[in-house]
Amino acid sequence: MVWHILRKDLKLLWRMVLGVALINLIHRAILSSVGPFGSGGVSPLVVLSGLLGTVSLLATGILIVIVVQQDPIPGLTQDWLVRPIRRRDLLLSKVVFVALLVQSPIFLIEVGQCLAAGFPIGPSLAAPLSRSVWVFLAMDLPVLAFATLTRSLAQAAGAAIAVVVGFALVTQATILYTSSSFNGIWVTDAAQVAWGLAGVAAVLAIQYYRRKTTSARWMYGGAALVWLFVQFLPWQPAFAIERRLSSQPAVADAVQIAFDPAFGRFHGPAGQPAPVSARASRATSDPYVWAPLRVSGVSEEQMLINDGAGGRLIGPGGTTIDLGRSGMPIPWDLRGPFHYLIFIPKDIYNRLKDQPVGLEIDYSLTLLHANPAQAIPAAGGDQWIEDVGRCATRTSAGGAQVELGCLTPGSPPCVTLSIESNGPGRGVAQGSGCASDYAPYFGRVNGDSISRFFREFPFAGSEFKDARVFVKAYHPEAHFTRKVVIPNFRLSDWRPE
C-alpha cells in the first residue's frame, strides 16, 4: 500500500516535484558559475544565488506540506479513513516521498555539482550525502510533522509565520547571551537535531496513530520551545563529549599554558582602537588588562586553537568573581608568548586594582597536526589539493596581489597559507583561521555541499613566474582543557601601555 500511495501522490504532484528540483538545479548552477573567486566580493550572481537559496528552501517546505495534506490528518471525511488504510502505511508513504522525491534530487544535483567542480568521486559523493541526510533529519522531517497539524496550505502558512516571528523574537532576546558565550560547538547542534527528532517522532505517532491534533500541536510547540533553548547547553559537558572523541588525546600531554610576567605589558599597534566590552546590550567603559601568558609543547607542525576561555578573580577572603568569557588570545594560533585580554567590571577594578588577587583562566583547546604543504603556482594555478579542495590562483587587476580561491567538498579546512618566490617579489604568510566546528559529519541547511574561501596576498614586485602559494591543511588530533592559575596578580600592573 505504501507504493500505491506514493504513486498516487507523484501522479498529482509530479509538476511541483520537477519545479522544486529545477529551482535547486538553477541555484546550484549559479553557485557553480561564480567559481573559486566568487567569495572574494559581492556580485549580482552572488546576490541572486542567495535569493534563490531562500526560494529553494521555501519551495521544498511547501512541497512537503502539500504532499502531507494530500491525505490530511485533521478532520473526519478523508478517503484514507473511509477505505480504511493502515496508519503505518500512510506515514511511511509520506516519509518515502520526501526522501526519494524531495531530498534525493537535491543530492543528485549536488553530486553533479561537485563532479563538475573537479572533485574526485569519493568527496563528490560523501559531502552531498552527509548534507542530504542532515537536511532530511534537521528540516524535512520537522516540516513533515508540522504539516500534519494543519488542514490546508493557508493554515500552514499562517502557523509558519507565527513560528518564524516567535523564533525571531527569542533570537533577538538572547542574542547578547549567544554573542558573549563560547564559540558554537557541533555537539550542541547534534543535540538540537536529536531532540527535534524525538519531538517529530512523538507528534507523528500522536497524529497518525491517535489523531489527537490538539495534543500534537501542544507537543510540537513545547518541543520547539525546548529546541530553541538547547543551544544554551553548558559548554563544559558539550566540550567533554568532544574530548572523548579525540583521535589522539595523548599528543596534547606536553602542551602547557603558564603566566609569563617577563613577556611584559601589552603594547598595541599605533592607532588601533581600544577594545570594547558589551553588557546588557550596551557598550561599556569597563577597564581591561592583558595577562602575559606563554604556551609550550606545541611543535612547528602543530597548531593550537583556543575554542573558548573563561576567567575568574579570587578576591580578598577567597571571594570568587566570575568574569565569564573575558577575552581572546593574540594571535589566534596560540604559540609561544601571547597576551590574553580580560575585561573587569569598573566597580570591581576600582576596588581591587592595587591589591594582589588570584586570576584563574580555564581554556578549552584543540591541537591540530599539519599535513605536508602543497604548492600551487601563484598565477594561473588550478588543481586539486588533498584535504583542501579545488584551488585556483590569479593576479589582481592592479598586479599588486595574488588571489587564491578554493572550493572544498564539505566543511572548510583549517589551513595556513604562504607565498614564496625566487625572484625579487616577496609574499606575506597568512593564516585562514579555524572555526571550532570539528564535527565528524558535514551538515547545514543553507547553501550547498561546497564550502568556499578566498585569500589575497600582498606581493611586492612583478616576478610571478616562479612564485608559488603553499597550502598546509591541519586536522584535529586532541581536544583538551588547561587551567592557568596566577596568584598575586595586580590588575593595575597589566594595563596596556
> Residue 456 has what pLDDT?
81
The reply to whether 74 and 207 lie within a common domain is: yes
Residue 493: inside a domain: no
Q: Are residues 341 and 392 in the same domain?
A: no
Provide the pLDDT confidence category of residue 280 given band limits of 50, 70 and 90: very low
pLDDT tens digit sequence for 288-329 = 889 999 999 998 888 888 888 888 899 888 888 888 776 566
pLDDT at res. 181: 47
Q: Is residue 332 part of a domain?
A: yes
**Residue 153's pLDDT is what?**
79
pLDDT digits (tens, 9 = 90+) for 419-450: 877 654 444 545 556 766 788 889 888 888 99
Choose the most confident range, by mean pLDDT, from 160-164, 385-389, 460-464.
385-389
- Cα–Cα distance, 59 to 65 (Å, whole number): 10
Q: How far is CA 124 from CA 25, 103, 112, 391, 409, in A?
A: 16, 16, 8, 15, 7
Residue 489 has pLDDT above 50, yes or no: yes
pLDDT tens by residue, 326-338:
656 655 667 788 8
> What is this structure's pTM?
0.83
Query: Which has more confidence, 345 or 171?
Result: 345
DSSP-derived pairing of the beta strands 288-296 and 450-460: unpaired
**% of the chain beyond a pLDDT of 70:** 82
Q: Are residues 288 and 403 in the same domain?
A: no
Residues 226 and 289 in one domain: no
Question: Do residue 114 and residue 257 come from a single domain?
Answer: no
Which pLDDT score is estimated for 177?
53
In the prediction, which pLDDT does 174 show? 57
Residue 111 resides in a domain:
yes
365 within some domain: no
Q: How far apart are CA 371 and CA 251, in angstroms?
A: 16
368 inside domain: no
CB atoms within 10 A of CB 338: 23
173 shares a domain with 73: yes
**Model confidence at 143, in pLDDT bands (50, 70, 90)?**
very high
Residue ending a domain, among 356, 390, 416, is 356
Say whether pLDDT at 88 is over 70. Answer: yes
Mean pLDDT of the 184-189 span: 80
pLDDT digits (tens, 9 = 90+) for 349-381: 888 888 899 999 998 899 999 999 899 888 888
CA distances to 241, 356, 472 from 442, rounded to whole Å, are 18, 48, 21
As for how many domains the chain has, the answer is: 3
**Mean pLDDT confidence for 158-178:** 65
Look at residues 291, 326, 356 and tell me which one is the last residue of a structural domain.
Answer: 356
The overall average pLDDT reported for the chain is: 83
Between residues 166 and 154, the one the model is more confident about: 154
- Counting residues of the chain whose pLDDT is more than 90, the rounded percentage is 30
Count of CB atoms situated within 10 Å of the CB of 57 = 18
How confident is the model over 12-34, as a mean pLDDT? 90
| Grid cell of 306 as nine digits | 583556543
- Which whole number is the average pLDDT over 139-161? 85
How many other CB atoms are found less than 10 A from the CB of residue 329? 20
Nearest to 147, CA basis, from 157, 161, 134? 157
Q: Which of 330, 356, 382 is the C-terminal boundary of a domain?
A: 356
Least confident of 55-64, 93-102, 172-181, 226-235: 172-181
Q: Structural domain of residue 138, as residue ranges? A: 2-233
pLDDT score of 430: 56
pLDDT class for 166, splitting at 50, 70, 90?
Answer: low
The reply to whether 387 falls in a domain is yes
Contacts of 89-95 spanning 24+ positions with Cβ under 8 A: 89/1, 89/2, 89/5, 90/5, 90/208, 91/204, 91/208, 92/2, 93/1, 93/2, 93/3, 93/5, 93/6, 93/9, 94/9, 94/67, 94/68, 94/144, 95/141, 95/144
| pLDDT number for residue 160 | 77
Overall average pLDDT of the 27-32 stretch: 88
Residues 318 and 217 reside in one and the same domain: no
Same domain, 339 and 463: no
Assess whether 228 and 285 both reside in one domain. Answer: no
What pLDDT score was predicted for residue 180? 47
- Both 9 and 139 in one domain: the answer is yes
Claim to verify: residue 89 and residue 218 sit in the same structural domain: yes
- Structural domain contains residue 497: no
pLDDT tens for each residue of 374-425? 998 888 889 998 888 999 988 876 667 788 888 999 988 888 888 877 654 4
* 448 within domain boundaries: yes
35 and 181 in a single domain? The answer is: yes
Whether pLDDT at 495 is above 60: yes
